[in-house]
Amino acid sequence: MPQQFWRQTSLVLTAVVLGIPLLVICWSLLDLLVSGSETLSHLWQTVVPEYIRNSLALLLGVAIGVILLGVSTAWLTTACRFPGQKFLSWALLLPLAMPAYITAYTYTGLLDFSGPVQSTLRSLTGWGFGDYWFPEIRSLGGAIAVLSLVLFPYVYLITRATFLQQSATTIEAGRSLGLNPWQCFWRLAMPLARPAIVTGTTLALMETLADYGTVQYFGVTTFTTGIFRTWYGLGDLNGALQLAGILLIAVVMLMLIEQWSRRAARYDQRQQRSAEPFRLRGWRALAAASVCWLPLLFGFLLPASQLLSWSVQRWQIWQSAEFWQLAGNSFLLASSAALLVMLIALWLAYGRRQVNNPVVRTSVTLAGLGYAMPGLVIAVGLLLMLGRVDQWLIALSQDWFDYNPGLLLSGTLFALLFAYSVRFLSVALQTISAGLAEIRPSMDEAARIQGYSPLQVLRRIHAPLLRPSILTALLLVGVDVLKELPATLVLRPFDFNTLAVRAYEMAGDERLADAGPPALMMVLVGLIPVILLSRAMLKSSRKALKEPEFV
């Protein structure tokens, strides 16, 4: 009993430590409600209404965009057969490898006044400046378009899985009544897939609220840009903290919507056999292929081609020692964070398996909520907490040794690793928990009967069986850390730079071509988990539809 008590206590303490940044934000909100804030009152009278309008417009536009792109492509690649359907069924995940802010840079380079599109238009028509109208990419509409193109795979992936699981008898009943593919989709498949659509859309909207690089580069003022402006422009950390609290409330509301949609998932149907697909020919096949190819073209192929072109133009950057120093910093940070997060996730997941009571389950669940929180919110709360700890350590050192050690925690790699652990723990936790769920509890019991301690059971039995899950968790977290921008911008040491920050700095200085090599490096690394996810999806599709394997 004492041993189990200490295990439970250590698990709960681990979860509490990981939740401290979010607790700091919540405490600031509570303090705001009790005492009020002159800074926030001033912000409410000046800029907060603009933040709310732009954020709501951005959320609405992205929601419409990802639903239109994700649901249409999911239905066409699942229920219809047309040339290129098998390739598109997994290739539509490729936009996930493109960070939104990188896509924003590429489209700015393509569509601004000096870009190839407008330059070609002027050379063909003889027009000059002011002689024609061209849509402005650096606008709210441009941000909606870019985020929709990058985030629609969230809706596509979840909705397609639902379409694969729907009962064949439902679709066949509709077809027997004379419904065409469009009518079967609109009247039968889409209402049954509504919870999945809401879930995928909610995930995309969480990423939209967390985005900083895209909206900042396009000049769209949202809560994320407002937090940076209040912090760095006004030097008001408390005001930034309170804005972060408002953003946190919006994220929690989206999480509640997502949970509500899961409760409604009971209206879905599990298939007993696969339905006969709609065979499209002629103009219908061409239209279906176009609907699926256009998101892939504009979401991945064009931005990747632009990055490749810039990288060729700046080939000397690939030969510079500074570039490879940046790459080394990025991969060192990503690998260190991935290893740390994997160990924490393994500790929590295995501890929940050993001490499976409501307190531990709730604590582990709360520890995994950081992934739903914007990295900027986590960074603000963490910096305030570490700043106060640093002040206490400095005062203690001066009292005892008459020595000022400076900042020991905030503005260091420790702060970055802490933020990454909070932000990406859920990714590793879910992966390892899924692997543990496939190991029968009887194996644990047999090992314990033979006198193995829980640590020996983990090391000798579970670790070898969990190797694929552990490697997957390391890979996913590493790639997420490599692409993370807001938390890295806020918490990195002054003399430490990464690929993501360099790409952001070059784009901010309008040196888009110089941003190509670091951006392309991140995209190439980001393709690895997308390829793994595509392979897993293909296997699932073959199993569900009982199709023969293909290359």
Give 493's contacts (C-beta < 8 A, 6+ positions apart): 411, 412, 413
pLDDT exceeds cutoff 50 at 479: yes
pLDDT exceeds cutoff 80 at 60: yes
**How many alpha carbons lie under 13 Å from residue 167 in its C-beta half-sphere?**
10
Burial class (CB in 10 A: 0-12, 13-18, 19+), 22: buried
Element (H, E) at 315: helix 315-318
Q: How far is it, in rounded angstroms, from Cα 74 to Cα 89?
A: 8
54-63, 204-213, 294-303, range with the lowest pLDDT = 204-213
For helices 140-165 and 194-210, angle between their N-to-C axes, nearest 10 degrees: 150
pLDDT exceeds cutoff 70 at 59: yes
> Residues 179-207: pLDDT tens digits?
666 667 666 666 777 777 887 888 888 88
Banded pLDDT at 551 (limits 50, 70, 90): very low
* pLDDT for res 538: 63
pLDDT exceeds cutoff 90 at 57: yes
**Against a cut of 0.85, is the pTM above it?**
no
Amino acid making up residue 497: N
Domains along the chain? 1-24+316-508 (1.10.3720.10), 37-313 (1.10.3720.10)
Banded pLDDT at 7 (limits 50, 70, 90): confident
Contacts 24+ apart (CB under 8 A), 169-178: 169/272, 170/269, 171/79, 171/275, 172/275, 172/276
> Residues 429-441: pLDDT tens digits?
878 887 787 777 7
pLDDT exceeds cutoff 70 at 549: no
Q: Which two tokens stand for residue 475?
A: 């890979």
Higher pLDDT, 97 or 195: 97
Q: How far is it, in rounded angstroms, from Cα 55 to Cα 223?
A: 7
Banded pLDDT at 298 (limits 50, 70, 90): very high
* pLDDT for res 435: 79
DSSP, residue by residue, 163-200: HHHS-HHHHHHHHHTT--HHHHIIIIIHHHTHHHHHHH
What average pLDDT score do residues 235-263 get? Answer: 73
Q: How far is it, in rounded angstroms, from Cα 424 to Cα 476?
A: 9
What average pLDDT score do residues 390-415 get? Answer: 82
Length of the chain: 551
Give 157's contacts (C-beta < 8 A, 6+ positions apart): 93, 200, 533, 537
pLDDT exceeds cutoff 70 at 267: no
* pLDDT for res 119: 86
53-57, 137-141, 380-384, range with the lowest pLDDT = 380-384
* pLDDT for res 535: 72
DSSP label at residue 274: P
Q: How far is it, in rounded angstroms, from Cα 275 to Cα 204?
A: 30
Contacts 24+ apart (CB under 8 A), 517-521: 517/310, 517/311, 517/314, 517/317, 517/318, 517/323, 518/323, 518/326, 518/327, 519/99, 519/102, 519/105, 519/106, 519/307, 519/310, 520/304, 520/307, 520/308, 520/310, 520/311, 521/327
Q: Please, which residues bridge with residue 80 across strands?
A: 278
4-to-7, 49, 447, 450, 530 alpha-carbon distances in Å? 5, 51, 18, 19, 40
* pLDDT for res 261: 61
Q: How far is it, in rounded angstroms, from Cα 299 to Cα 96?
A: 9
Higher pLDDT, 223 or 273: 223
Task: Write out the E strands in 240-281.
Answer: 278-279
> Residues 125-165: pLDDT tens digits?
888 877 778 888 889 999 999 999 999 998 898 888 777 76
Amino acid making up residue 470: I
* pLDDT for res 225: 87
* pLDDT for res 68: 94
Q: Please, which residues bridge with residue 278 across strands?
A: 80
Banded pLDDT at 26 (limits 50, 70, 90): confident
- When the pLDDT of each residue in the chain is averaged and rounded to a whole number, the result is 80
* pLDDT for res 290: 93
